[in-house]
Chains A and B, each alone.
Chain A
Amino acid sequence: MKYDIILAGVGGQGILSIAFVIDNAALEEGLFFKQAEVHGMSQRGGAVQSHLRLADGQIYSDLIPLGQADMILSVEPLETLRYFEYLKPDGAVVSSRTPYTNISDYPVLEEVFREIKKAPVHVLIDSEKLAREAGSVRAQNMVMLGAASIFLPLKEDSLKKYIQVLFEKRGPQIVQTNLKAFDLGRQAARA
């Protein structure tokens, strides 16, 4: 078994938090993982991506070869498209519908959605609305992780355990918000 994920978003949207949860859940379930991330300059409002690879045996490359990702998981719709060439033909796209418009030439949103829908398996999630419903607009990353969880080769419980670990230090309120965000995302993807 191997499962390759491209995580995408804009610097500051918390894709490394998604990665933290998946990495640790994978380790707990006895899987191997490698996760290449972006630090430094791009984190200042630029496009960021992380290659996250899970397998039940040794993983060599830190980077996913083109056309081999099982999933693109993106917290921002335009960023979803940036990595399309990594997706394998039957791969899944799990993308937020909520644009992050910190650039002047952001394309027409409907056209972005139309492109995303060209992927045979795609789930578009209103992450902003669901995160608000959970209690914080900052929890969009956990909404998206919840949506992706229906495809991931990981147990719901292991993922939730590490959401707990990740937010523990910030208090029970924030833990609850993020767990709820995960649940809402998961339900929305099932719908």
Chain B
Amino acid sequence: MEKVVLLGDEAVALAAIQAGLTAAYSYPGTPASEIMEFLIRNSEGGRKYTAKWCVNEKVACEEALGVSFAGKRAMVSFKHVGLNVAADPFINSAITGANGGLVVVVADDPGMHSSQDEQDSRYYADFARILCLEPAGHQEAYNMTREAFDLSEKFRIPVMIRLVTRLAHSRSSVATAAPREQNKDLPYGTWQDWTLLPGNARRRFRILLDRQKELLEYSENSGYNQLVLNPTGGRLGVVVSGIAYNYFKEVASSLPGEPSYLKVSTYPFPVNKLRRLIEQVDEILVIEEGYPFIERFLQGVVGISGKTIRGKMDGSLPATGELTPDLVARALGLPERTGLKTGDFKLAGRPPQLCVGCPHADTYKALNEAIRDFPRPVVFSDIGCYTLGALPPYNAIQTCVCMGASVSMAKGGAEAGIHPSVAVIGDSTFAHSGITPLLDAVHSNTAMTVIILDNGTVAMTGTQPSFGTGEPLDRLVAGLGVEPNHLRVIVPLPKNHQENVKVIKEELSHQGLSVIIARRECIQIVGEKKRS
């Protein structure tokens, strides 16, 4: 066994390679990006698997499904909100079932370090009626991913691996096992299983429901779901899952006796093990990262007679944000520990900001100047570095909701009477989810202006390739039917400021649809090129 230093994300990626991966797909998003980064980095040197960034998560998920149909092993990875984008193929892949092993890796972001919400993907796994594995540490991330491919082929369903930021971006050493070859002999899927006409879909859904017994049985027997009954552990029992297990183990040694506990690592969770724990104790503390998923099931509508259930729902642990060892210690009744205090000293905050020399900064300066004479303008924006334009000194945008929403919201806003109604969206975000709403706006000739910030990369997540940049982007936008004289290209540089203000003003005044492409390469890319 070889020991390697890996991020949690990378442990998943390496496990997939060594499980006989044929193809993996993804769209960049923190905290999942490093999975595909690792796969691409290691695909050189004769390794015969495909690892590709895709235009968006739905496409990535469907490509992986095609690989599974072909009888090969596939993985798709993205951040939690990426699963919203991929929800359609994800849910329906549980109905078609998997042929070659299909693993869906979702990295949740409790605490919203780099996200707009902290939704818990375990609900999605439950909704799709599939198996979900939740590693607590790096070795489990590796082992579970290896096993997930086998489980997917055994139960013929996609299997979810749920990560959280703290594991995805934590680094530790991992012992690896001998690699497995890619699948060779699996036949393609059959049309009766994969063509979800109602007749087939009903039969397939029945099969999925019937399989639930087997999934539960797997969970009951899985060694990952560790039940530790400590007769001297007292009245309190702990149900703990994922990375929360690490915090529990870290602090539980300070208790007079370690409480009995059940570590939940696979879903559907092991009901009998849970029952055995509950029988032993009067009070149950549920510690889980994300939403109170297990806790809500346990509590049900009326609770469990004679037992107290504690966790995120009764305030023993905070309902939002990321867990810490200190929060878990407090929930276990341990005294608070603190270190040095800085007293009255006022610590200035240091929020992230656009880089010095960033093209977006020049675009925002020009936009702010061009728009200020209009009485009630609105700038709808989107997901990317340019969302930082909401903060001083720019204060240039009023919304950021989800990928592509700037364009669709600007259309809705315009139709509700907003003028100028402006959308500001990056080139990759436009390719991801901005093209379809722009087609909508072309169809209605909506009086709105879309500014595409074309810096040629997916900058925020680490400069991955963009699918809608440069001259092909111009042709794409023109091809959607945007009028040529209202499709403008500007170069956001301080020396072009006056000219850019003029162009933007003209298009803001236009009573129809216009698109301005602000094109200048990301300063990070310029730097990378210089260094290499």
Chain A residues in the interface with B (C-beta under 8 A):
10-11, 19, 23-24, 27, 32-47, 59-69, 78-79, 81-82, 84-89, 91, 102-103, 105-107, 111, 115, 118-119
Are A24 and B353 neighbours in the complex by a CB distance under 8 Å?
Answer: no
How many A-B residue pairs have C-beta atoms within 8 angstroms? Tell me.
151
Are A102 and B114 neighbours in the complex by a CB distance under 8 Å?
Answer: no
Q: Which of B167-175, B189-197, B483-491 contacts A (4 or more CB under 8 A)?
A: B167-175
Residue of A nearest to B352 (CB): A46
Once A40-B113, A61-B325, A89-B340 are accepted as A-B contacts, the answer to whether A33 and B172 lie under 8 Å apart by CB is yes
Chain B residues in the interface with A (C-beta under 8 A):
3, 5, 30-31, 33-34, 113-114, 166-167, 169-173, 243, 245-247, 249-251, 324-326, 329, 336-343, 345-355, 385, 388, 460-462
A-B contact pairs, 12 of them (CB 8 A): A11-B352, A32-B172, A37-B169, A37-B171, A39-B30, A42-B113, A44-B354, A45-B350, A63-B325, A65-B337, A78-B348, A81-B347
Are B166 and A85 neighbours in the complex by a CB distance under 8 Å?
Answer: no
Are A107 and B346 neighbours in the complex by a CB distance under 8 Å?
Answer: yes
Nearest CB of A to B324, in Å: 6
Q: Which residues of chain B are within 8 angstroms of A47 by Cβ–Cβ distance? A: 349-350
Please give me the 3 A-B residue pairs with the lowest Cβ-Cβ distance, nearest first: A40-B30, A46-B352, A40-B114
Are B342 and A89 neighbours in the complex by a CB distance under 8 Å?
Answer: no
Are A45 and B353 neighbours in the complex by a CB distance under 8 Å?
Answer: yes
Residue of A nearest to B168 (CB): A39
> Which of A19, A61, A69, A85 has a CB less than 8 Å from the CB of B246?
A61
Nearest CB of B to A161, in Å: 14
> Which of A23, A42, A79, A106 has a CB less than 8 Å from the CB of B352?
A42
Residue of A nearest to B531 (CB): A170
Nearest CB of B to A73, in Å: 15
Nearest CB of A to B434, in Å: 21
Are A66 and B326 neighbours in the complex by a CB distance under 8 Å?
Answer: yes
Q: Which residues of chain B are within 8 angstroms of A105 by Cβ–Cβ distance? A: 348
In the bound complex, how far is the Cα of B222 from the Cα of A59, in angstroms? Answer: 23
Are A106 and B348 neighbours in the complex by a CB distance under 8 Å?
Answer: yes
> Which of B243, B341, B348 has a CB less than 8 Å from the CB of A85?
B341
Are B166 and A36 neighbours in the complex by a CB distance under 8 Å?
Answer: yes
Are B113 and A38 neighbours in the complex by a CB distance under 8 Å?
Answer: yes
Nearest CB of B to A70, in Å: 11
Q: Which of B30, B166, B171, B251 has the most CB of A within 10 A?
A: B171
Are A23 and B350 neighbours in the complex by a CB distance under 8 Å?
Answer: no
Are B341 and A61 neighbours in the complex by a CB distance under 8 Å?
Answer: no
In the bound complex, how far is the Cα of B173 from the Cα of A81, in angstroms? Answer: 30
Are B460 and A40 neighbours in the complex by a CB distance under 8 Å?
Answer: yes
Are B353 and A85 neighbours in the complex by a CB distance under 8 Å?
Answer: no
Q: Which residues of chain B are within 8 angstroms of A44 by Cβ–Cβ distance? A: 352-355, 385, 388, 460
Q: Which residues of chain B are within 8 angstroms of A34 by Cβ–Cβ distance? A: 170-172
Residue of B nearest to A106 (CB): B348
